Amino acid sequence: MSTNTPYNPQQLTIGGDMTVNRLGYGAMHLTGHGMWGPPEDPDQAVAVLRRAVELGVTFIDTADSYGPGDNERIIRKALHPYPDDLVISTKGGLLRSGRDDWLEDKGAPYITPCGRPEYLRQQVELSLFNLGVERIDLYQLHSIDPTVPLADQFGELVRLQQEGKIRHIGLSGQPGVTLDDLAHANAHAEITAVENLYNIVDRAGEDVVRHAEQHNVAFIPWFPLGHGGLVGPDSPLRPIAEQYGATPAQLALAWLLHHSPATLLIPGTTSVSHLELNMKATGLHFSASDMEAITAAVDAAEVPVWRPEPAVA
């Protein structure tokens, strides 16, 4: 962070020059069922995005595979021309086979990466078009393709960066980027953000959180609310959250904000009222002893976790 910028615990700087508020918004669910097709209620999707920005969101996460393309286009419809301080992060490198391929109950493959350089270039160009921008602030490889040399995957992204079409490069993982993945990626590009499955219950990527913290890398937890399972009417977090005058979602988000200064949150919702409740998580303040007590209570609850699995070849 610039020495001329006062430290703000609610903000984070990506790549040394892009400061955002740490409670952002994940737009994935503003698409049709199974993240396929346009939103069921486009006007509501637009309202949610506009309200998010009104409430101080300066970081929105999307991907070319959400729709595909529809998610980026609804963001453009709602917010273009974009506020100067709004950062839109998109991702590329996952294939879609149809509307059922991300639905657990269909038994279809969840993850099919494609990191061929010509494909990544095509997807960057499509994202630029869909979003209506000349440069993508943060472009993340959505998943490492094990069939393509990493040098080729990141080499193409670096070329696009040199051409001025990408500002910063990140790496997403399905379900997570390992320290080895990050080291190998950094050999070919400067990785300024890493996006892993991580939340108050599923903390399998703790070593990557600490690495991000120590190396000024933004850590973006996806499924920060545990695939929705942590925040429903029967949420196992409810008794704990009530002790702090919070909803389960607010507790889970505030815990992530307190857990590490590197976390950049992207909770998603299709409801303006839920969005407004989520944003109040920044008003919760936990002491170190609070954090220890909350973590111990969550661990004692033995909440089941769910993680997507790569497609079987």
Cα–Cα distance measured from residue 99 to residue 97, given in angstroms and rounded to the nearest whole number: 7
Q: How far is CA 30 from the centre of its chain?
A: 14
Residue 43 host element (H or E): helix 42-54
Which residues, listed in sequence order, are joined to residue 88 by a DSSP beta bridge?
60
Instruction: For residue 174, give both structure tokens.
Output: 């399905």
CA dihedral 271, 272, 274, 278 (to 10 degrees): 130
Q: How far does CA 134 lie from the centroid of its chain? A: 22
* Amino acid found at 233: P
Q: What angle do CA 241, 7, 214 make, to 5 degrees?
A: 80
Give which of 157, 227, 163 is closest to 193, Cα–Cα: 157
Show the tokens assigned to 81: 């021309």
Helices 206-214 and 179-186 pack at an angle, to 10 degrees, of 40
3-class state of residue 193 by DSSP: strand
Q: What is d(CA 12, CA 9) in angstroms, rounded to the nearest whole number?
A: 8
Which backbone phi and psi does 60 adopt, to 5 degrees? Answer: -120, 130
Q: Which residues participate in catalysis according to the annotation? A: 66
- Residue 131 CA, distance from chain mean position: 17
Q: How far apart are CA 308 and CA 202, in angstroms?
A: 13
Question: Cβ(2)–Cβ(14) under 8 Å?
Answer: no
> Would you state the structure tokens that stand for residue 305, as one six-digit string?
């976790």
Locate 272 and state its tokens: 């303006």
